Amino acid sequence: MDRGFVVVANNTKDVDYVFIAEALAKSVKNIMPDANITLITDDVDNSKYFDKVVALPYGDLDKQGDWRLINDWQVYEASPYEYTIKLEADLFIPESIEYWWETLQNRDVVVSTKIRNYKQEISRNRYYRRFIDTNNLPDVYNAITYFKKSELAETFYLIVKDVFLNWEKYRSELKCPISEKVSTDWAYAIACLILKEEQTTLKTFNGMSMVHMKQQINDLVTEDWTDTLVYEISNKKLRVNTIPQMYPFHYHVKKFAKFIHEKL
């Protein structure tokens, strides 16, 4: 089967997302050495951590230089695989997720819908989902998205593109401040709404979820969890407060990428 992982990573003036994506690639190869992983970017021509580096098909569309998420929709055309799992750059993969392919391969698009705290418990916290709740949008997380080359998946990403490029039109029909910027989660949620949740999510698949290390989800006193929790990577295992991490780990605090590079 022609399948693989992809990550879209474009540097900003403040964050080296390619460096962060390379930490992700190291974690993938650490636990799944035969997995294919491709970097999609306009910021480097090659990287020893990836099997392929692919340029954005339409180039960098961020004219302001600070909102490079606008390029995300290009992932569909850029992916070199028939079956793709898109991973957000600031993820760490602590356990093999190869078994996902068998469940996902008969679907066209599956956007993840479940997050967990570091204790591995599925989170019901709504603190960061007010936009979703206020607008009755599908509760999806673009950080982990599966798609295969298909008419439905292509349509999905054309809608994501339209949301990004015509945000003012969509924003006028939503309950949100005039200053609200379009995020990737919002764009994916709108695309899932238009194409119907049953076609774009798989809520029965609990394995396709991630640990999200934001403050409110984990009942922490600060947004920087690395200042308050004990963590280690030892013998290829990631533990947080002694708890082994079993799901993709969305560490959120970008400096953690340096720790991954040091330990793998």
Q: Which CATH number belongs to the domain containing residue 224 in this structure?
A: 3.90.550
Average pLDDT over residues 101-114: 97
How many domains in the chain? 1
Task: Note the pLDDT tens digit of each residue in 122-133.
Answer: 999 999 999 999
Which pLDDT band holds residue 159 (cuts at 50, 70, 90)?
A: very high
Contact 9, 39 (CB under 8 A): yes
The pLDDT value given to residue 140: 98
The pLDDT value given to residue 66: 64
Task: Note the pLDDT tens digit of each residue in 58-90.
Answer: 998 886 666 688 999 999 999 999 999 999 999
Residues 102 and 80: their CA atoms lie apart, in Å, by 19
Domain containing 147 equals 3-263
The pLDDT value given to residue 68: 80
150-171 CB burial, b ≥16 within 10 A, e <16: eeebebbbebbbbbbeebeebb
The pLDDT value given to residue 241: 98
Read off the pTM: 0.97
Which pLDDT band holds residue 1 (cuts at 50, 70, 90)?
A: low
Contact 131, 93 (CB under 8 A): no
Residues 27 and 57: their CA atoms lie apart, in Å, by 27
Of 39-43, 64-68, 226-230, give the lowest mean pLDDT range: 64-68
Which pLDDT band holds residue 236 (cuts at 50, 70, 90)?
A: confident
Of 7-21, 61-75, 162-176, 230-244, give the lowest mean pLDDT range: 61-75
The pLDDT value given to residue 62: 82
Which pair of tokens denotes residue 223?
A: 């947004």
